[in-house]
Amino acid sequence: MRLSSVLRAAVLAVAALLSLSAAARADDGYVQLTIYKGGWIIGGNGGSGVLDFHGRRYWLSIGGIDYGFVFGGSRAVLRGRVHNIWRPSDIVGPYAAGGAGIVVGAGVRGIVLTNARGVVLELAGSQVGLMANADLSGLAISLR
């Protein structure tokens, strides 16, 4: 009898540890952003988007600045995954990126962004416009 109670206690302890580790992991979601960018040396960006998380949709606002070589304007529609998110408000905050590219007409764009909470956005999509850039970009996302 003693062996079965020890075995039962060990199984319960392992099950408890597994449930704790599953609860301690952040989750993933999906995001779609539409970003308008334009400028001459100093530029700006803005737009909107939506976060799909746990079966619900959360509307987003986007804004920021660009500094470096920026000329022209473009519109990008980006879709992708959001990693390491506990709650919808985790996506809120500033993101920074450096980039370079040329768009004449239509093209593709991909980017990976991280905020201070460790939320990672992996985005890809299309970009249209007339733009040449080699700049540092600051992007802030907020919930509407």
The pLDDT score that the predictor gives to residue 19 is 44
28-37, 86-95, 135-144: least confidently modelled range: 135-144
CA dist 36 and 67 (Å) reads: 15
pLDDT at 16 over 60: no
pLDDT band for position 22 (cuts 50, 70, 90): very low
d(CA 115, CA 77): 20
Query: Regarding beta strands 120-143 and 93-114, do their DSSP bridges make them parallel or antiparallel, or are they unpaired?
Result: antiparallel
Tens digit of pLDDT for each residue in 65-74?
Answer: 888 888 999 9
- Look up residue 81 and give its two tokens: 């995954």
Answer yes or no: is pLDDT of 77 > 90: yes
> What local confidence, expressed as pLDDT, does residue 83 receive?
96
Strands (E), the chain: 27-53, 56-85, 93-114, 120-143
Q: Which domains does the chain have, with CATH numbers?
A: 27-143 (2.40.128)
Closest CA relative to residue 62, chosen from 135, 123, 130, 134: 123
Q: How far apart are CA 62 and CA 117, in angstroms?
A: 17
Quick one: which H or E segment has residue 10? helix 2-23
Average model confidence (pLDDT) for the chain?
A: 84
| Separation between Cα atoms, residue 125 and residue 47, nearest integer Å | 15
Query: Residue 82: its pLDDT value, please?
Result: 97
